[in-house]
Amino acid sequence: MKHIISNINKAFDHRIRLGIMSVLMVNDSVDFKTLKDLLGVTDGNLASHAKALEKVEFISVEKKFIGRKPNTTYAATELGKNEFKKHIEALEKIIKHT
């Protein structure tokens, strides 16, 4: 059974990180407010979990100003997309074996 969980990635253990990656897998990029609203999380929760995914280079972050307002957008990196796919495939294998 240990082989079946070898592609489970600890970076996706938390539901917010799983949600961030799920949204970014089907969108080129998403801004902070949209992501926050979709996931129903607080600013602090989203920021800390996004930072964790950025640290392992699974997402990229772009900060800019639109007019005078700051705007942060997130996108999944190729590494992030590949690791997330492996993670989902590993979960599917576990479900099929139980």
Question: Which domains, ranges and CATH numbers included, belong to the chain?
Answer: 2-97 (1.10.10.10)
Distances from the Cα of 54 to the Cαs of 20, 22, 74, in angstroms? 11, 15, 9
Neighbours of 16 (CB within 10 A): 19
Q: What does pLDDT average to over the chain?
A: 92
- Position 1 scores a pLDDT of 47
Query: What is the pTM for the complete model shown?
Result: 0.89
Neighbours of 74 (CB within 10 A): 23
Beta bridge mates, 60: 75
Expressed in angstroms, the distance from the first to the final Cα of the chain is 11
State the residue for tokens 């607080």: 42
User: What is the tens place of the pLDDT at every residue in 10-29?
Assistant: 999 899 999 999 999 999 99
For the segment 36-59, the average pLDDT, to the nearest whole number, is 97
For the segment 50-64, the average pLDDT, to the nearest whole number, is 97
